[in-house]
A and B are shown apart, each in its own frame.
Chain A
Amino acid sequence: MNWDQLFFLRHEILLSLLIVFELVADLSDSSARQSLVNTTIVLFAGLTVAGFIPLANEASLFGGMYASDDLRILLKNILNVSTLVFLLQSAGWLNQSQNSYKTGSFYLLLFSTLLGMYLMICAGDFIMLYLGLELATIPLTLLAAYDHNLRRSAEAGIKLLMSSAVSSAVMLFGLSLMYGIYGSLHFSEMSQQGAMGGSLGVLALTFFIAGLGFKLSLVPFHLWTADVYEGSPLPVTMYFSVVSKGAALFTLMLVLYRVFGQFTGVWSLLSYALAVLTMLIGNLFALRQKNLKRFMAFSSITQAGFMMLGFVNPEALGMNTIIYFMLIYSFSNLAVFGVLSIIHNRYGKEQIEDLNGFYKTNPGLSLILLLALFSLAGIPPVAGFFGKFFLFTAAASRGLYFLVLIAVLNATISLYYYLLVVKAMFINPNDQPLPAVTLTGAERLALVLCVLGIVVIGFMSSIYGYIQTVVG
């Protein structure tokens, strides 16, 4: 092994170091923990920046188990940026007295999942992918149950663990069949062979997609989502809906496009069905929600449905638009959750009706939330519009206009419930709206980053151009 090759692993190595740091720091006394949050953010910011250093990226390590290229680096960087914003936004929660003693372990678990996601993305075979997936899942169940004095948090943890265990069992069953068909679990070897296994192959592929679809919360694999999102601490919910979902999406994308190129007929058809189901069910459930976290859960299910639109196009265009959409979705969702967590940390409120009259006292936050919701709904000129439009373009380029029609109609339905939140903030009268808040530096920085992301990404075509060149 060449030492140069360590550069290809820079994300993983730095993150591992960070994990070790957290482990050590967690042992120290409580006064050090106070500064741990800030230190971690700074260190992670360093990691994020380091991730962007342009170095040679094309590599295959450990006998092909680990692969790296520009695309994967980009995907990891997207996750890093999201995580950085997430860290900034969760700082307030961690600084609360009842949480501060467990800061170190929180970060420990968190970075472990992130490492798992890196591995999922950079997997060169299914073993690595599975390893990464479990690494990204099991600590998350603990995070979901992190509010150890809340019943709902405990419930969220167990629900997530049990259902994810079943889903990974199903996925593994599919992989085992795949192994039986191909005799290999290496991506490079599998992709070179044609479609094999006939019906068994279809079955195996479906099982595999179901496993990742679970993480991505596609209907009908989504049922855990709402409960876990609602039960988990708010920062964890945010992490679920953005980083965890992003990693699952990217992994699914890489595997389908890069490995199962021979099965495009199958998985694009499956994506069609999943897209329709997911958008529709997500919307129908989101309509009624009163709790913002639960609301955002169904919203993110719907958004996952939109993401599946990209998968019906097995060409590069599909990949481009998926990545682009995910990027925008991350910023939008982070912005929404950022505002929600600011409210939650201060007032412990998380119902939509609690937002009534919010604009009167907090115009800035309301506007940010408005922009973010519009972005999720796909309203120009914020970036969400571009993301959605291009996804629809990807679907339409396959001639699937009916699917596009269903999708745009669903986008209209989704606008309805996003507007309900807007309505609460701007229109509903309230004598005692939540008082004005003063933002901490971290929160401010996080929101600025999000707003920049929401507003700028759409107009800067170079970002899409970059994704396009990276995908190739």
Chain B
Amino acid sequence: MNPLLYLLIIPGLTVAGITLVKDMKQVRLVAAVGMSLQLLWSFVLLYWFYQLRAAGHTEEMLFVSSTTWYEAFNIQYKFGVDGVSMAMILLTSIVTFAGIFASWQVAVLTREFFISLIILAGGVFGFFISLDLFTMFLFYEVAVIPMYLLIGIWGSGPKEYSAMKLTLMLMGGSALLMVGLLGIYFNSAPDGGPLTFDLTEIARIHIPRDAQLFFFPFTFVGFGILGALFPFHTWSPDGHASAPTAVSMLHAGVLMKLGGYGCFRVAMYLMPEAAHELAWIFLILTTISVVYGAFGAIWQKDLKYINAYSSVSHCGLVLFALLMMNETATTGAILQMISHGLMTALFFALIGMIYGRTHTRMIHEMGGLMKVIPFLSVVYVIAGLASLGLPGLSGFVAEMTIFVGSFQHTDTFHRVATLVAASSIVITAVYILRVVGVLLLGPVKNEHFHELKDALWFEKLSGVTLVVSIAAIGLAPLWLSNLIREPLGQMLHHLIN
């Protein structure tokens, strides 16, 4: 059996286990065990992947297996991974693992909560290992839809509105996507022969230029909505603000990455000519995203809004780098996805933990938390530093790779765009430090805060997992960078020629 399938089976069994056990404690225990296994398995896969590569398996994808599903449409269960998807799998399992512990104390409908969460994660895993556009799309929607319940039931604030908005906008995105995918499918055999949804096969053939130009925007925007592409990002602030902690973590940390990954793996990879011709439009949009998100974040007063806008900015950078279409920038984009995933998950985890103590997310109502809850505060500072691109943490690696890569573009327009995007690092520093200053430093603002308890063991575990991952990437980025870069050469060769 394909080892990748365990990435779906483990969540499946976990869900089954959760339905069987009795009370809240057992539920979360099963969830934790399941997701720990998943994390472990991801590492095993990674190791295995390296072994295979070392043993001289140079094919584009490893662990490939395919079974015909719908013969009439040539739909297959086709799975396989390359370095990029391997990295994303790793990200997903880390964030999910941390997410389980961050939601250790969900008391309302615990069972349902963990089930939805794990289904969401399962959808994401399925998406990343799929090589067939149909199954990919299927998993994409499987991952998106539990968000509605997760936000609607366990959320806060205007949760119903936010949940609905988020779901509808993302589904609107998948509507565009569906048109794009069908377009790709029906142009997948321009010289006759059977149509196919198989990604690797479509990549080999040449979709007619007119078709590319028509379908590229659908596909790119469709995925882009999930990747918070300006001006389709507005589901993100409200959605994140209302979502419960683990959901924000998974959503910003992992789900939004589906967007970037899809833009690259589907839109650009399969329709390179259109990508070349239309990149400038999206480049302008993403450049706006990057700067706009950062400026937007400055003015916010709610921690989650700040982080949501910062996600717009950071995810904008992902798409921005992808559109540069060179190896370094693309590596940077994937690195940024991972880095942002870990970082923003950490942020949301911390925001949730702080909110659980102070019962407010308004930064002006808090202050001096460093003194009362030092562990959480220090971790918050680390997350902030990662976010503003401090060397030694993952953000720096990703951003620098993006900027250096983007700047290698010989075209002035691209380079000017790079400079504009790079300026966001200053604005990022402004809002991060503002939050740190108001929230954590200064005198303790509220008498009650003196009674706050610092992080509990599961909160520590959640935070430390993410911090360690961020630092590991930040300190020794070469292995990850190489892992990601290895398949890109081939893919970009396809893109550039």
Contact = CB atoms under 8 A, between A and B. Distances in A.
Contact of A392 (B69, B148, B171, B182): B182
Contacts of A409: 172, 175
Interface in B80-122: none
B168 A397 contact: no
Interface of B: 69-73, 75, 134, 137-139, 141-142, 145, 148-149, 152-153, 159-160, 163-164, 167-168, 171-172, 174-176, 178-179, 182-183, 185-186, 214, 218
A20 interface: no
A412 interface: yes
Nearest to A410: B175
A465 B72 contact: yes
B258 to A, nearest CB: 14
B229 to A, nearest CB: 18
Contacts of B172: 409, 412
A145 interface: no
A389 B167 contact: no
A461 B69 contact: yes
Nearest to A402: B179
Contact of B141 (A380, A393, A401): A380
Contacts of A405: 175-176, 179, 218
B148 A419 contact: yes
Given A405-B175, A416-B168, A426-B149, 20 more contacts: A374-B145, A379-B145, A380-B142, A390-B73, A393-B185, A396-B182, A396-B185, A401-B179, A405-B179, A405-B218, A422-B148, A426-B152, A426-B153, A427-B149, A427-B152, A461-B70, A461-B71, A461-B75, A465-B72, A468-B72
A31 B92 CA distance: 64
B153 A393 contact: no
A392 B71 CA distance: 17
A47 interface: no
B171 A415 contact: yes
A102 interface: no
B72 A404 contact: no
Interface in A375-423: 379-381, 385, 389-390, 392-393, 396-397, 399, 401, 404-405, 408-409, 411-412, 415-416, 419, 422-423
A320 interface: yes
Contacts of A423: 152, 160, 164
B186 A396 contact: yes
B248 to A, nearest CB: 18
A464 interface: yes
A461 B134 CA distance: 13
Contacts of A419: 148, 164, 167
A361 to B, nearest CB: 13
A320 B72 contact: yes
A464 B70 contact: yes
7 contacts: A389-B137, A405-B175, A405-B176, A405-B179, A408-B175, A415-B168, A427-B153
Contacts of B214: 401
B106 to A, nearest CB: 15
A393 B168 contact: no
- Most A CB within 10 A of own CB, among B69, B152, B159, B178: B178
The 10 closest A-B pairs by CB, nearest first: A408-B175, A396-B182, A427-B152, A380-B138, A461-B70, A412-B171, A380-B141, A408-B178, A412-B172, A405-B179
Interface in A56-113: none
B22 to A, nearest CB: 15
Nearest to B71: A465
A404 B179 contact: yes
B138 A392 contact: no
A381 B164 contact: no
Interface string A454-472: 0000000100110010000
Interface of A: 320, 374, 379-381, 385, 389-390, 392-393, 396-397, 399, 401, 404-405, 408-409, 411-412, 415-416, 419, 422-423, 426-427, 461, 464-465, 468
Contacts of A412: 168, 171-172, 175
B468 to A, nearest CB: 34
Contacts of B141: 379-380, 385
Contact of A393 (B73, B149, B171): B73
Contacts of B218: 405
A303 B35 CA distance: 39
Contact of A408 (B159, B167, B179): B179
Contact of A464 (B72, B137, B138, B168): B72
Contacts of B139: 380
B183 A401 contact: yes
Contacts of B149: 422, 426-427
A399 B182 CA distance: 10
Contacts of A393: 73, 182, 185
Contacts of B134: 389
A380 B127 CA distance: 13
B186 A397 contact: yes
Contacts of A380: 138-139, 141-142
B138 to A, nearest CB: 4
B109 to A, nearest CB: 8
A405 to B, nearest CB: 5
A430 to B, nearest CB: 14
Nearest to B214: A401
Contacts of A392: 178, 182
A422 B150 CA distance: 12
Contact of A381 (B75, B142, B171, B185): B142
A401 B213 CA distance: 14
Contacts of B176: 405, 408
A426 B179 CA distance: 32
Contacts of A422: 148-149
A316 to B, nearest CB: 10
Contacts of B167: 415, 419
A401 B72 CA distance: 20
Contacts of B152: 423, 426-427
Contacts of B148: 419, 422
B138 A385 contact: yes
Contacts of B72: 320, 464-465, 468
A468 B172 CA distance: 31
Nearest to A396: B182
Nearest to A405: B179
Given A408-B179, A427-B153, A416 B145 contact: no
A389 B164 CA distance: 23
A392 B174 CA distance: 13
A327 B469 CA distance: 49
A338 to B, nearest CB: 22
A415 B173 CA distance: 13
Contacts of B73: 390, 393
A80 to B, nearest CB: 25
Contact of A416 (B69, B71, B164): B164
B208 to A, nearest CB: 13
Contact of B138 (A381, A411, A427): A381
A414 to B, nearest CB: 10
